[in-house]
């Protein structure tokens, strides 16, 4: 019998339209949480890239309710970050897999997906465009956009250029989306509190649909050092990376090629390495055969004389700032509460460096706030990890390996935050998106204070 099959290709936008749950948009409450998280992380990245303490205003406003018990919300975020150069605005916000973070340096964003998928979700649930206003300090550009999902292209509906007498720089994104804030609320508040803890130099204001104002004031203006972009380390390369480097290199021979494109190398190291692989240093890179490339990549795995990966692509928070964030968000009293923060030396994972930072806090102030037992806060790349808590090794160490009864203080600490900061981490990003939002939240949400400002 002849099979009646239809073959077609779909665009990346179409893929996420069909599989939005893998990007964290599986249900209306989860969608609210993911949308806030994606936009906030973009804003924090942009402010850090500018080198200015983030000043972020977030507002979620209920516009109408739907027959299925959910609501349509307007979500607005304003930041004082780098802004987006005009020519990149439509693509950054209207094309999946487009962005400025595909480099070897630490940032929250990695995929070129999060903000755009939020806009896509808003569009498919409300059929409304996104409004983006942005400036890098020159003119202000004001765009209304939609996404052509089938072709993964932005559709510019309106575009305005405005004068910028006050030299404002930053980005404002405003979109509509379907969601369920009442069910997402505790998760959103917990996420904001932990974000404020690990980014103590950020000033974040959130106005929720009930008109309540959540203020997370910064505890310091000091920021961690900016990460630097680095070359790949030989231990982190694969056949595809090597093939791409060879196709674009201007170097004339393999010795120059290794010296030019990799970190962790020195003249004597490269000479020894090429000798081990059996490649003449004078060989032209472009003359390498596929089997030579595979041999070379395999050899990097077992050659142990490369220098350690350069950790300057990382931006660890550091003891002082970490302490400030924890004290601020857990309201610790230095006279009675115990807090210890440590930062480890850089280590490596498949050629990529990472730094582990951890803290333990204990005392009457936290006891009052938290449930009995241990509350574990986990972060990667300064992002709170709220999901899959028990799947991490930290959970096992804290809950199983440490016998708290033999420690001083003899009872378990009420709080134990920790973070690592790799540009490519063993903590899988999708891991933040796999569990349902209604899982029990640990820790307390901040209490609302006052009323929202007139905006």
Ligand X SMILES: Nc1ncnc2c1ncn2[C@@H]1O[C@H](COP(=O)(O)OP(=O)(O)OP(=O)(O)O)[C@@H](O)[C@H]1O
82 contact, one of Mg ion, ligand X, none, CB 5-8 Å limit per kind: ligand X
186 contact, one of Mg ion, ligand X, none, CB 5-8 Å limit per kind: none
- Give yes or no for residue 195 binding ligand X (CB under 6 A): no
Interface characters, 2-41, with ligand X (x: CB under 6 A): ------------------------------------x---
- Give yes or no for residue 112 binding ligand X (CB under 6 A): yes
* Shortest distance in whole angstroms from residue 58 CB to ligand X: 12
Residue 57 · residue 171 · CB < 8 Å: no
- Give yes or no for residue 110 binding ligand X (CB under 6 A): yes
CA distances from 349 to 209, 262, 311, 352 (A): 43, 17, 12, 5
User: What φ, ψ does residue 83 adopt, rounded to 5°?
Assistant: 75, 170
Chain-centre distance of CA 11, in angstroms?
A: 24
- Give yes or no for residue 425 binding ligand X (CB under 6 A): no
- Give yes or no for residue 90 binding ligand X (CB under 6 A): no
- Give yes or no for residue 42 binding ligand X (CB under 6 A): yes
84 contact, one of ligand X, Mg ion, none, CB 5-8 Å limit per kind: ligand X
Distance (Å, rounded) from C-alpha 60 to C-alpha 387?
Answer: 23
SS3 for 366-377, per residue? HHHHCCCCCCEE
- Give yes or no for residue 192 binding ligand X (CB under 6 A): no
Distance (Å, rounded) from C-alpha 104 to C-alpha 81?
Answer: 21
Distance (Å, rounded) from C-alpha 386 to C-alpha 408?
Answer: 28
Token pair of 139 as six digits = 């003119």
Binding to ligand X, residues 162-181 (CB under 6 A): 171
CA distances from 223 to 33, 107, 115 (A): 26, 14, 24
* Shortest distance in whole angstroms from residue 110 CB to ligand X: 4
Distance (Å, rounded) from C-alpha 27 to C-alpha 323?
Answer: 36
What SS3 class is residue 33? helix
Q: Could you report how far apart the first and last alpha carbons of the chain are, in Å?
A: 66
Specify the stretch interacting with ligand X by CB under 6 A; choose among 58-66, 107-115, 386-394, 443-451. 107-115
* Shortest distance in whole angstroms from residue 115 CB to Mg ion: 5
Token pair of 172 as six digits = 């404002």
Binding to Mg ion, residues 37-66 (CB under 5 A): 42
Residue 48 · residue 54 · CB < 8 Å: yes
Identify the residue among 40, 72, 84, 359 touching ligand X (CB under 6 A): 84
- Give yes or no for residue 81 binding Mg ion (CB under 5 A): no
Is residue 300 within a helix (H) or strand (E), and if so which, with residue range? helix 290-302
What SS3 class is residue 61? strand
On the question of a cis peptide bond just before residue 418, with omega within 30 degrees of 0, the verdict is no
* Shortest distance in whole angstroms from residue 431 CB to ligand X: 13
- Give yes or no for residue 109 binding Mg ion (CB under 5 A): yes
* Shortest distance in whole angstroms from residue 146 CB to Mg ion: 19
- Give yes or no for residue 109 binding ligand X (CB under 6 A): yes
* Shortest distance in whole angstroms from residue 54 CB to Mg ion: 14
- Give yes or no for residue 99 binding ligand X (CB under 6 A): yes
User: Could you list the residues that contact ligand X (CB under 6 A)?
Assistant: 38, 42-43, 46, 79, 81-82, 84, 92, 99-101, 109-116, 171
């Amino acid at each position: 019998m002849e099979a009646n099959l239809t073959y077609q290709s779909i665009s990346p936008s179409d893929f996420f339209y069909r599989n939005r749950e893998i990007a964290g948009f599986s249900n209306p409450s989860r969608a609210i949480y993911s949308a806030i998280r994606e936009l906030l992380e973009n804003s924090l990245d942009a402010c850090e890239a500018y080198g200015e303490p983030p000043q972020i205003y977030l507002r979620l406003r209920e516009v109408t309710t739907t027959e299925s018990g959910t609501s349509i919300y307007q979500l607005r975020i304003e930041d004082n970050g780098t802004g987006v150069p005009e020519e990149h605005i439509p693509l950054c916000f209207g094309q999946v897999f487009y962005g400025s973070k595909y480099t070897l340096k630490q940032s929250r964003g990695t995929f070129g997906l999060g903000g755009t998928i939020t806009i896509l979700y808003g569009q498919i649930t409300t059929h409304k465009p996104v409004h983006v206003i942005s400036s890098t300090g020159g003119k202000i550009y004001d765009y209304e956009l939609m996404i052509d999902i089938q072709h993964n292209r932005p559709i510019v509906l309106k575009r305005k250029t405005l004068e910028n007498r006050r030299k404002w720089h930053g980005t404002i994104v405003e979109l509509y989306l379907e969601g369920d804030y009442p069910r997402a609320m505790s998760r959103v508040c917990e996420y904001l509190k932990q974000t404020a803890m690990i980014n103590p130099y950020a000033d974040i204001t959130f106005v929720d649909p009930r008109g309540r104002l959540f203020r997370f004031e910064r505890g310091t203006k000091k920021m961690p050092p900016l990460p630097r972009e680095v070359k790949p380390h030989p231990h982190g390369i694969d056949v595809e990376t090597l093939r791409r480097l060879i196709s674009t290199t201007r170097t004339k021979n393999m010795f120059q090629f290794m010296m030019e494109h990799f970190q962790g190398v020195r003249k004597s190291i490269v000479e020894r390495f090429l000798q081990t692989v059996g490649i003449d240093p004078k060989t032209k890179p472009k003359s390498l055969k596929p089997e030579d490339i595979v041999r070379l990549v395999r050899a990097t795995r077992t050659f142990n004389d490369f220098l350690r990966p350069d950790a300057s692509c990382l931006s660890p928070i550091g003891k002082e700032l970490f302490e400030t964030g924890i004290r601020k968000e857990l309201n610790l009293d230095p006279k009675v509460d115990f807090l210890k923060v440590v930062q480890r030396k850089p280590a490596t994972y498949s050629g990529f460096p990472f730094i582990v930072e951890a803290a333990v806090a204990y005392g009457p102030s936290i006891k009052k706030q938290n449930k009995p037992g241990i509350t574990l806060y986990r972060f990667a790349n300064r992002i709170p990890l709220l999901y899959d808590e028990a799947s991490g090794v930290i959970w096992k160490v804290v809950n199983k390996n440490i016998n708290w009864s033999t420690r001083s203080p003899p009872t378990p600490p009420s709080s134990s935050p920790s973070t690592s900061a790799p540009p490519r981490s063993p903590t899988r990003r999708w891991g933040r998106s796999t569990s349902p939002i209604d899982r029990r939240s640990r820790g307390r949400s901040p209490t609302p204070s006052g009323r929202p400002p007139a905006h």
